[in-house]
A and B are shown apart, each in its own frame.
Chain A
């Protein structure tokens, strides 16, 4: 009972937040609605006892990705008026795509889902069951090659992203920290000792 109530509560918030993402006029508000959407979907996953995925969703998307997103969105000067100019011209295409997606979702739920029980709640796990440990077991045994491959691809992406920004700009006043640390006061300061002047 309470589980169902919680589910519908979170689901309602999730839908409102998702609508907020696409309808709000201010891009920062959109980003914050997206954060809310991530949070509520994490809560839904928690209801399914997938605590690892739920917490990682918050950690990665809310804690890192959306912070950078917000960082960029705040610095952009987005003119919403100009963005809305082509609305009527693109509206038919948008409606068409939306319809296609609705048909796809309906197809999955009503036709292919007819013989599988989609709404059944999963069995509650026994006490002491650790979602994280189970996932770790599977990731590092059965799927270890796929996992390592994904890691290498991510590393490649990091290296590529860094190398894209590595360019020599003329007139750049970069600091050589090793040289700064190696500085000796004797090379720069001359201490002059002289007698105090009398009378």
Chain B
């Protein structure tokens, strides 16, 4: 046994340093990706259950105990389905489009800090990286719509492109407010800048930006009430109308991964990431509830995910021109004005950053 361990250490140290880095990083990527994909699977289950309860139904109950194996049954079904490529579709782009939508959804996780220590890539320009990658996700949708060679898919793609470009600007301006408040583009530093009680988190001083950011996030992920790109009552299923089997599953996976991503970003940027809401409260002084930990991050992410599902179950779909109006004429002016207000707060030294 000892010989085996010795041999393993010697083997590891004998590897070239570049190979060591690659191995460690791959393992870390696996450590993030596998739970993430499981979260996506169970998010679909949670969605069906929660919307079921809101609509006075029970949701899936048949597969496994209380339907808990339903996501795996769905994956099995989709795996076995045939992928049909429509006539005159652009075969190459048709296949590459789902990949283009899922790669950015996963790659952005590299800079999300899970707790004080664990983040895959602790880079200085983390926030810019997030913005750049989230803006790439739209290619999958546009190309899927165009390559399918179908009117409905094309309409969905056009709607989605205009919508995402509009809401990205508001999202970017909301982020400007966050980086003004924290003085850093590094997501870990942004969370550390919010240390203190629940009232030093950025949601309170940046309340309008917080709301704009989350609503824009909902719009960017093409979720209800902004899901005109799918709009099943008008254009069937929008950009993925002709996709079946695993190609469809990849789009589905990307949408849910993006939901978790937007929730995680909102939690990191506005709700203090891994910090505890009970920090500094005398009653819970030194239990684990007051400690900053991954638990709090996960709880905040779940909270926003619940809001996503709640919105879907309770709001009717926005009309397309109203979506555009909300993005361009409401959100962008709101963020611009609040950035000016924030600058004024800096000058007058009001707010949590004033010490």
Contacts and interface: CB of A to CB of B under 8 A. Distances in A.
A67 B161 contact: yes
A56 B146 CA distance: 27
A135 to B, nearest CB: 11
A130 B179 CA distance: 15
A63 B138 CA distance: 8
B325 interface: yes
B124 interface: yes
Given A28-B93, A175-B321, A177-B325, A67 B142 contact: yes
Contacts of A58: 132-133, 136
Interface in A30-63: 32, 35, 51-52, 55-56, 58-59, 62-63
Interface centre among A56, A58, A75, A175 (most CB of B within 10 A): A58
A70 B158 CA distance: 10
B128 A67 contact: no
Given A67-B165, A71-B158, A51 B142 contact: no
Interface centre among A55, A71, A175 (most CB of B within 10 A): A55
A52 B128 CA distance: 8
A29 B147 CA distance: 11
Contacts of B321: 175
Contacts of A133: 124
Contacts of B165: 64, 67-68
Given A28-B146, A71-B158, A74-B146, A62 B125 contact: no
Contacts of B164: 67
B28 interface: no
A35 B103 CA distance: 15
B240 to A, nearest CB: 17
Of the four ranges (under 10, 10 to 19, 20 to 34, 35 or more), the interface on chain B belongs to 20 to 34
A71 B161 contact: yes
A70 to B, nearest CB: 6
A35 B128 contact: no
Contacts of B139: 35, 67, 70
A67 B164 CA distance: 10
A2 interface: yes
A26 B125 CA distance: 36
B135 A64 contact: yes
Given A67-B138, A67-B139, A59 B131 contact: yes
Interface string B193-223: 0000000000000000000000000000000
Interface centre among B132, B164, B185 (most CB of A within 10 A): B132
B146 A64 contact: no
A70 B165 CA distance: 12
Given A59-B132, A62-B135, A63-B136, A51 B123 contact: yes
Given A67-B161, A132-B124, A55 B132 contact: yes
Of the four ranges (under 10, 10 to 19, 20 to 34, 35 or more), the interface on chain A belongs to 20 to 34
Contact of A55 (B90, B129, B143, B162): B129
Interface string A121-140: 00000000011110000000
B128 A56 contact: yes
Interface string B135-157: 11011001100100000001001
Nearest to A57: B132
B230 interface: no
Contacts of B4: none
B168 interface: yes
A58 B103 CA distance: 15
A63 B132 contact: yes
B280 to A, nearest CB: 30
Contact of B124 (A32, A56, A130): A130
B84 interface: no
24 contacts: A2-B18, A28-B146, A29-B93, A32-B143, A51-B124, A51-B125, A55-B125, A56-B128, A56-B132, A59-B131, A63-B132, A63-B138, A63-B168, A67-B135, A67-B164, A70-B142, A71-B142, A74-B154, A130-B124, A131-B124, A132-B124, A132-B125, A175-B321, A177-B325
Given A62-B135, A71-B158, 18 more contacts: A28-B143, A32-B93, A32-B143, A35-B139, A55-B125, A58-B136, A62-B136, A63-B135, A67-B161, A68-B165, A70-B142, A74-B146, A74-B154, A130-B124, A130-B125, A132-B124, A132-B125, A175-B321
